[in-house]
């Protein structure tokens, strides 16, 4: 497996920023998200597990944005990081989400809410990583 030379502080800060974005996003859209999901808050009863998974996968995303940005663009800048994040979202995240949501017969509003959240996360991660250089 290829290992990237990354700034680990940048990756950690990008992960924390991602969690803050998710908290704000889903607190402000909780009613719409639950309606799109077709469940009540009581039906979820997920406990802490999703939050643990969220930080783990967001750190992995940040690691790859940090590693791929200089390889794909030649320099780690906020703009380059944001562009790589947006391209990764469009090429892999959104397309995978649409594929899965269509097979699951999920509402398009769920894809829109979750997809827009991940677009913000990946762009913000790219900007944060770019600020660290």
Residue 46 lies in a domain: no
Residue 3 lies in a domain: no
Structure tokens of 65?
């944005």
The residue-averaged pLDDT of 15-25 equals 97
Model confidence pLDDT, tens digit, residues 98-108: 999 999 999 99
Please report, for residues 37, 46, 123, the alpha-carbon distance to residue 110 in angstroms, rounded to integers and kept in the order given. Answer: 6, 18, 20
Q: What is the pLDDT of residue 1?
A: 65
Question: Comparing 44 with 35, which gets the higher pLDDT?
Answer: 35
Residue 118 lies in a domain: yes
Residue 67 lies in a domain: yes
Distance in angstroms (rounded) separating the CA atoms of residues 26 and 113: 9
Number of domains in the chain: 1
Residue 79 lies in a domain: yes
Structure tokens of 47?
């406990």
The residue-averaged pLDDT of 65-70 equals 97
Q: What is the pLDDT of residue 42?
A: 85
Residue 47 lies in a domain: no
Domain that holds residue 57: 8-41+52-132
Closest CA to 129 of 48, 34, 36, 11: 11
Distance in angstroms (rounded) separating the CA atoms of residues 5 and 8: 9
Structure tokens of 105?
């017969």
35 has a pLDDT exceeding 80: yes
Residue 2 lies in a domain: no
């Amino acid at each position: 497996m290829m290992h990237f030379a990354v700034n680990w502080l940048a990756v950690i800060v990008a992960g924390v920023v991602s969690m803050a974005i998710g908290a704000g996003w889903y607190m402000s859209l909780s009613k719409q998200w639950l309606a799109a999901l077709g469940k009540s808050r009581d039906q979820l009863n997920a406990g802490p597990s999703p939050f643990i998974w969220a930080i783990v996968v967001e750190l992995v995303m940040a690691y790859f944005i940090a590693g791929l940005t200089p390889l794909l663009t030649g320099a780690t800048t906020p703009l380059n990081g944001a562009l790589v994040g947006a391209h990764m979202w469009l090429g892999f995240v959104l397309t995978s989400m649409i594929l899965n949501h269509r097979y699951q017969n999920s509402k398009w509003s769920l894809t829109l809410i979750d997809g827009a959240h991940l677009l913000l996360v990946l762009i913000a991660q790219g900007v944060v990583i770019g600020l660290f250089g």
